Amino acid sequence: MFRRRRAKHRLFSRILILLIILLAIFSTIAILYPLNYTEYINKYSMEYDVDPLLVASIINVESKYNKDAISPKDARGLMQIGPTTGEWAADDLNIENYNPNMLFIPEINIRIGIWYLSMLRNEFGDNLDLILAAYNAGSGNVQSWIKNALYSIDGINLDNIPFKETADYILKVKSNLKIYNLFYDNKISNSEDFGQKYLQLMNGIRKYLLNISDSYSKEDIV
């Protein structure tokens, strides 16, 4: 009887450890790849027909979801919109009384960022590498690269990118996009921060499992 009970507890302990490890992994992913401001991402992605998880990936790479982020080149907010792009977008979108500090407002920043992605898609088609390269380095640079045999063999795709920062940027965004597609399974909530809800659920399960483990430990003592 005692041996059977001990074997049962050893099996439970192993299962518990495995579950805790899995929960830790998923919780870490949710921290490293959050999905916040989903209401705005979903709203404007639908308006401009842009992949919302691509937007989420760009925000994560650009600012780690810090709405107050500002770069040495004065790019601002979640999607790191530069002053020139901000003014261009504000004029096209009829944003009244626009000033650069409005780029720190999440909805405005995301709206402009997605609008800009749609403009780049109009320019470069569905070539994601070109779109991301232009988002990082500017469309003028990308246009000159694809016209240069040193960087583009066919004049359509980029075979070499002269800016290491831009080459790294493309890899980071595409890597993030793979994780977002795998982890979030193309599910974006309109009203809640999905990543935060997931973290709360994971923490709740973790506490529940720890409570069960504690109760079994007390049984062993008895």
Cα–Cα dist 1/143, whole Å: 77
Looking from the CA of 47 toward its CB, the CA atoms found within 13 Å total 16
Least confident of 43-57, 67-81, 173-187: 173-187
- Supply the pLDDT for residue 191: 40
How far is CA 5 from each of CA 15, 16, 44, 60, 219, rounded to the nearest angstrom? 15, 16, 58, 48, 10
Which residues are catalytic, by number? 62
- Give the tens place of pLDDT for each residue, 14-71: 776 776 776 677 677 778 998 899 999 999 999 999 999 999 999 999 999 999 999 9
Please name the helix (run of DSSP H) or strand (run of DSSP E) that holds residue 32, with its range, or none.
helix 2-32
Question: Which percentage of the chain shows pLDDT scores above 70?
Answer: 74
Q: So where are the chain's domains?
A: 1-34+193-222, 37-189
Cα–Cα dist 84/76, whole Å: 11
- Give the tens place of pLDDT for each residue, 146-168: 999 999 999 999 999 999 999 99
Q: Please tell us whether the domain made up of 37-189 is placed in CATH 1.10.530.10.
A: yes
